[in-house]
Amino acid sequence: VQLQASGGGMVQAGGSLRLSCAASGRTLSTFGLGWFRQAPGKEREFVAAISWDSARTNYAVSVKGRFTISRDDAKNTVYLQMNSLKPEDTAVYYCAVDRTSLRVFPTGDRFEYADWGQGTLVTVSS
């Protein structure tokens, strides 16, 4: 599967961005999807994940209440709505596909994700 992330850019603190990640090559309707991010000099960290049936979501503590993950299986696309952005949200954001189908609770463990997009840069200025 190929994942194409888009929607990144530069925004002032307090602003919003919506990231999209479109998949091609196979349907993702039975797989959980996740967003991760990596800031310069730091390890890749979990941001948000959604179960294969959209029944459950999982968020990092640092983004809970500000970010919302969603998916549109008809478009084979996952989204990340980011509100109230902070400078510490600055990073390259990656989408990824869970390696296990039909997982009940969306995992935040990056080693459980098998396919990754190329990343989109989000820069939040103070």
pLDDT recorded at residue 12: 98
pLDDT recorded at residue 43: 96
Percent of the chain scored above 70 by pLDDT? 100
Residue 104 CA to residue 49 CA, distance in Å, equals 12
Percent of the chain scored above 90 by pLDDT? 97
Q: In the predicted model, what is the mean pLDDT of the chain? A: 97
The pLDDT-based confidence of 85 (bands split at 50, 70, 90) is: very high
pLDDT recorded at residue 11: 98
pLDDT recorded at residue 15: 98
pLDDT recorded at residue 54: 97
Label residues 41-63 b or e (16+ Cβ within 10 Å = b): eeebebbbbbbbeeeebbbbeeb
Pairing of strands 9-12, 67-72: unpaired
The pair of structure tokens assigned to 55 is: 């029944």
Q: How much is the average pLDDT of 108-122?
A: 95
Q: Tens of pLDDT along 32-77?
A: 999 999 999 999 999 999 999 999 999 999 999 999 999 999 999 9
Residue 60 CA to residue 68 CA, distance in Å, equals 11
Residue 84 CA to residue 14 CA, distance in Å, equals 4
Contact yes or no for 63/84 (Cβ under 8 A): no
Q: Tens of pLDDT along 16-31?
A: 999 999 999 988 999 9
